[in-house]
Amino acid sequence: MGYNEERGDYVRRYECDLHCHTVRSDGNATPQELIDKAADVGMKVIAITDHDIPPPTTLEIEGKTVDIKKYAKEKGLELVLGNEYSCDTYVDDVHILGYGLNWDDDKVIQEVERARRSKSDAYKKLCEVLTANGMPVDYENDILKYTDENGNIKYRDPDEVERKHIFEAMAKKGYAPSWNEAKILVRDNPVLNVKREKIKPSDAIELIKACGGAAVLAHPHLIDEVIVYPDGKRLTRHEYIKKLIDYGLDGIEVNYPYSKTSYKGNLPDAKIAAEVKETYQGKVRFFTGGSDYHAEEKKGITNARYIGEGGISYEEYTKIKEYLIGSDR
């Protein structure tokens, strides 16, 4: 248990949170702010896993370049470096977490560039489609130009734009009650749901392992219970995950706050965790957990995910640590 200042009460918090985001993708905290926050609430281990981009290895503090792992260690934290590959155009929320890759490998760099081009084209198109369907969102003035939590006008580089930024703009304009509901609105409307070219999950797993890392399926129950492809082919969630295991998946994220996401089912988080463990015990090398923290409280979002809301114990972490640090030693 620990005091959670965002909620103003005491909450259960895992010691190790292996799924966190920063402003380098769709989070709202800088890497330094994330580390400071995690240290303040007593975390032992956190992982930075931003979307489709290698993790930061340094911080700029008072004009000096500081090794990010050393900075975390001085704060009493062990820092794991990872990323999160958004996969499979026709199946929403298939995300593969990669831990401990050789981030300088040409294969990693090439995929970053491919994802960058794909995102830029698709997100501009999404704004155009929303505007054409009665929900004006201007890419230049609503997405690249934005107002932060302190009321300051800022500008994003086009490479920093994520779909969540568009969903947040939709909520701000009143098209949906929250960014999460804006996401569901777009996801469930074929006219609005502009797809981008994403890496295939099999290719993401192959890439991660070829670069010395470990591949973990994030939030498995955000995958639809029955997946229907454009050609009519149907797979159950379990059949789909079995295919990922056959491709070489190392682990599955178990403890995760589904109740604060776009999860379509009605199972409580603990029930999902127990079911996933029972189903895949012995079929993957290990299980992880994470909050998918985005520092949403900085945007005034109520009931935001907090650091450590999902995760694993430190004892569990020590048993799988070697998988997670991989080439990143």
Beta strands in the chain (DSSP E): 2-4, 9-11, 16-20, 45-51, 58-61, 64-67, 78-87, 94-99, 145-147, 153-155, 214-217, 226-228, 234-236, 251-255, 286-289
pTM: 0.86
Instruction: Report d(CA 170, CA 173) in Å as an integer.
Output: 5
Instruction: Report d(CA 222, CA 264) in Å as an integer.
Output: 7
Dihedral sign for Cα atoms in the order 250, 39, 221, 227: negative
Determine the structural domain holding residue 191 and report its residue range. 2-325
pLDDT per residue as tens digits for the range 57-69: 999 999 999 999 9
* pLDDT computed for residue 159 by the predictor: 80
Q: Give, for all 329 residues of the chain, the pLDDT tens digit.
A: 454 555 444 467 899 999 999 999 999 999 999 999 999 999 999 999 999 999 999 999 999 999 999 999 999 999 999 999 999 877 878 999 999 999 999 999 999 999 989 988 999 999 999 999 999 999 999 999 988 777 889 888 888 888 889 999 999 999 999 988 999 999 899 999 998 889 999 999 999 999 999 999 999 999 999 998 888 999 999 999 999 999 999 999 999 999 999 898 999 999 999 999 999 999 999 999 999 999 999 888 888 999 999 999 999 999 999 999 975 65
* pLDDT computed for residue 11 by the predictor: 67
Instruction: Report d(CA 103, CA 175) in Å as an integer.
Output: 39
Q: Are strands 153-155 and 2-4 parallel, antiparallel or unpaired?
A: unpaired
Residue 302, both tokens: 């109520």
Count of structural domains, the chain: 1
Residue with tokens 């340094």: 58
* pLDDT computed for residue 9 by the predictor: 47
For residue 294, give Cα distances in angstroms to 27, 201, 202, 297.
Answer: 4, 23, 27, 8
Query: Are 171 and 179 a contacting pair, CB within 8 Å?
Result: yes
| CATH code, domain carrying 194 | 3.20.20.140
Residue 150, both tokens: 């302190």
